[in-house]
Amino acid sequence: MKIDPEKCIACLECVDFCPMNCIAEKDSGVEIDQDECVECGVCLHVGVCPTDALYRPEEVNHYPRAIRAEFSDPGVWHPSTNQGGRGTEEMKTNDVTGRFRRGEFGMALEFGRPGTGARMSDLEKVLQVLVKMDVELETNNAVFAFLEEPITGKVKPEFRNEKVLSAILEFKIREDQLEEIVRQLQPVLAEVDTVVSWGLASRFAEDGTLPVRTQLAALGLPARPNAKINMGMGRPIVEQ
Amino acid sequence: MSHALHRHGTTEQLQIDYTFYARASRFVNRDGCGPKLRKILAIALSEPNLVNYGSSQAGKSYEAGLKPEEYAATLDKAYGVAGCFSDKETVRSFLKNLKEADTGISIVISGLIDEIVKIGKELDIKPHTAFLSLGVHGKRSLLPEDEVQQVTTMCGHGMVGAKLTKVVMDRVKRGKITPEKGAHILAQPCPCGIFNTNRCRTILEECKKEAAR
What band does A85 get if pLDDT is binned at 50, 70 and 90? confident
Do A11-72 and A90-218 show the same overall fold? Answer: yes
What band does A82 get if pLDDT is binned at 50, 70 and 90? confident
Measured CA to CA, the distance from residue A227 to residue A204 in angstroms comes to: 13
Across the interface, whether the CB atoms of A216 and B132 are under 8 A apart is answered yes
Across the interface, whether the CB atoms of B28 and A82 are under 8 A apart is answered no
Across the interface, whether the CB atoms of A115 and B143 are under 8 A apart is answered yes
Across the interface, whether the CB atoms of A233 and B159 are under 8 A apart is answered no
Across the interface, whether the CB atoms of A201 and B9 are under 8 A apart is answered no
* A90-218 topology per CATH: Alpha-Beta Plaits (3.30.70)
Asked if A168 is an interface residue toward chain B (Cβ–Cβ < 8 A), one would say yes
pLDDT at residue B2, as a whole number: 66
A94: closest chain B residue by CA:
B129
B114: closest chain A residue by CA:
A225
A117 CB neighbours in chain B (<8 A) are 158
pLDDT at residue A240, as a whole number: 74
**Distance (Å) from the C-alpha of residue B137 to the closest C-alpha of chain A?**
5
- CA distances from residue A98 to A26, B73, B161 in whole angstroms, order as listed: 53, 30, 35
Residues 6+ apart with CB under 8 A from A43: A1, A14, A17, A18, A23, A32, A49, A54
| Partner-chain residue, chosen from B11, B98, B164, that has the shortest CB–CB distance to A17 | B164
Measured CA to CA, the distance from residue A230 to residue B177 in angstroms comes to: 38
Tell me the CATH architecture of domain A11-72. Answer: 2-Layer Sandwich (3.30)
More confident residue, A140 or B169: B169
Q: What is the pLDDT of residues B21-46, one digit of tens each?
A: 999 999 999 999 999 999 999 999 99
Q: Which of A40, A92, A113, A143 is the mutation pick for testing B, counting most B CBs within 10 A?
A: A92
| Partner-chain residue, chosen from B129, B143, B188, that has the shortest CB–CB distance to A202 | B129
Asked if A17 is an interface residue toward chain B (Cβ–Cβ < 8 A), one would say yes
Measured CA to CA, the distance from residue B54 to residue B66 in angstroms comes to: 7
Residue A175 has pLDDT above 80, yes or no: yes
Global pTM exceeds 0.90? yes
pLDDT at residue A14, as a whole number: 98
- Which pairing describes strands A226-230 and A195-203: parallel, antiparallel, or unpaired? unpaired
3-state helix, strand and coil shares in percent for chain B, rounded to the nearest 5: 45, 15, 40
**Distance (Å) from the C-alpha of residue B140 to the closest C-alpha of chain A?**
6
B158 CB neighbours in chain A (<8 A) are 19, 40, 72, 112-115, 117, 165-166
Q: What is the mean pLDDT of residues A67-80?
A: 93
More confident residue, A87 or B204: B204
**Distance (Å) from the C-alpha of residue A101 to the closest C-alpha of chain B?**
9
Across the interface, whether the CB atoms of B57 and A84 are under 8 A apart is answered yes
More confident residue, A203 or A83: A203
Across the interface, whether the CB atoms of B27 and A90 are under 8 A apart is answered no
Q: Taking the domains of chain A in order of start, what are their residue ranges?
A: 11-72, 90-218
Reported ipTM: the value is 0.97
Residue B59 has pLDDT above 50, yes or no: yes
Q: What is the pLDDT of residues B116-129, one digit of tens each?
A: 999 999 999 999 99
Q: Which of A233, A237, A240 is the mutation pick for testing B, counting most B CBs within 10 A?
A: A233
pLDDT over 70 percentage in chain A: 100
Residue B105 has pLDDT above 90, yes or no: yes
Residues B24 and B154: beta-carbon distance below 8 Å:
no
Across the interface, whether the CB atoms of B112 and A225 are under 8 A apart is answered yes
B8 CB neighbours in chain A (<8 A) are 114
Q: What is the mean pLDDT of residues B90-109?
A: 98
Q: What is the mean pLDDT of residues A124-130?
A: 95
pLDDT over 70 percentage in chain B: 99
Residue B1 has pLDDT above 80, yes or no: no
User: Which one-letter amino acid corresponds to residue B201?
Assistant: R
Q: What is the pLDDT of residues B64-88, one digit of tens each?
A: 999 999 999 999 999 999 999 999 9
pLDDT at residue B182, as a whole number: 98
Residues A10 and A29: beta-carbon distance below 8 Å:
yes
Burial grade of A206 (CB within 10 A; 0-12, 13-18, 19 or more)? exposed
Q: What is the pLDDT of residues A4-61, one digit of tens each?
A: 999 999 999 999 999 999 999 998 889 999 999 999 999 999 999 999 999 999 999 9
Residues A9 and A30: beta-carbon distance below 8 Å:
no
Measured CA to CA, the distance from residue A191 to residue A125 in angstroms comes to: 8
Q: What is the mean pLDDT of residues A128-152?
A: 93
Across the interface, whether the CB atoms of A210 and B11 are under 8 A apart is answered no
* B13-122 topology per CATH: Alpha-Beta Plaits (3.30.70)
Q: Taking the domains of chain B in order of start, what are their residue ranges?
A: 13-122, 140-212
Across the interface, whether the CB atoms of B132 and A116 are under 8 A apart is answered no
